[in-house]
Amino acid sequence: MNLYFAPMEGITTYTYRNTHAELFGMCDRYFAPFIVPTDNERLSIKSMRDILPQNNDVQPVPQVMCSSPKAFLEFCKKIQEIGYDSVNLNLGCPSGTVVKKRRGSGALKDPEALDAFLDEIFSSVDIKISVKTRTGFYSHEEFDALLQVYHKYPITELIVHPRVREEFYKGVPNRQAFDKVYAGVPFPLCYNGNIFQAEDYTEIANSYPNLSGVMIGRGAIQNPAIFREIKGGKPLETQELIRFSKLLQERYLTLLQSEVYTLHRLKEIWLSMILNFPEEKKIAKAVKKSATLDDLNRAIVCLP
């Protein structure tokens, strides 16, 4: 059963992925955060930078989010030119601005339009296409119609996050909705949602032994050693997190040329990693209030 590091917008960029692979690794594939090509916008060097081969020590799976078949096909052509043979279609992002443009989970509102979109891209491209989806927009009852659409196409892997768009990331994933797809899916199936510790993975793997993979996002940001732990390795150590943070700091400073932007990136990551220390409320507060990199570093070295 494969282990995937989920794409997290603004966090799991190539700098983060390279550093994670160097210090922790143990996941089978990294998925890059989505790129949004459009019919009337050329893909800029900046938008493609995250998946350029020269920037990646470990080749990720590119993810695309768009509502235009033409834009999708042009994107696939470009990534094939730089050595990619697969792409992941994002049908899960719940952001309001995304949904308004019928992208991400916004595409789930209209199964007929989604069917037409998938029909055009699958009939026109020779690249492997996996799909990351939620189980509906308003209700899990919508999943039956969506599955009828998905079953028509040679999807290389269906990654299912069993929440509807209206739930965003609240509550718990709906396992009954996931059961529907597990019972009769004709292609490889991956589970995504609320894997925060090795025991969560074990429970999912035991419940669904025929999965092709499990994708972990927020849980891997919180505990970057989770893939190692799942595979029987040693538990996360505090000094590993501090070393990880310092190496990220060094690389972000080189890339961003800004202490302010580097601090912003690191604080966003630490707001998740500090959850490994629920008793250290004073240190967590100091991390959140850090105004400089020195403030942040003074706080984290006090972790037990």
Query: Where residue 64 falls among pLDDT bands split at 50, 70, 90?
Result: very high
130 — phi, psi (to 5°)? -105, 160
Burial class (CB in 10 A: 0-12, 13-18, 19+), 221: buried
- Read off the pLDDT of each residue in 11-15 and give the average, rounded to a whole number: 98
DSSP-assigned states of every residue in 82-102: TT--EEEEEE----HHHHHTT
Lowest mean pLDDT among 101-105, 200-204, 213-217: 101-105
pLDDT band at 25 (very low <50, low <70, confident <90, very high): very high
Q: What is the pTM of this model?
A: 0.96
Is residue 42 over pLDDT 70? no
Q: Beginning with the edge strand found earlier in the chain, give each strand of the sheet holding 63-64 in spatial order.
A: 29-30, 2-5, 213-216, 189-192, 158-161, 128-134, 86-91, 63-64
Q: What is the mean pLDDT of the chain?
A: 95
Say whether pLDDT at 40 is over 90. no
H/E stretch holding 189 reads strand 189-192
Stretch 234-243: mean pLDDT: 98
**Range 68-86 average pLDDT:** 94
The mean pLDDT value for 221-239 works out to: 98
What letter does residue 156 receive in the DSSP assignment?
Answer: S
Q: Tokens at residue 4, please?
A: 């995937």
**Residue 128 CA: distances (Å) to CA of 80, 122, 259:** 11, 9, 40
Indicate whether 69 pLDDT > 60.
yes
Residue 184 confidence class, pLDDT cut points 50, 70, 90: confident
Q: What is the mean pLDDT of residues 22-46?
A: 84
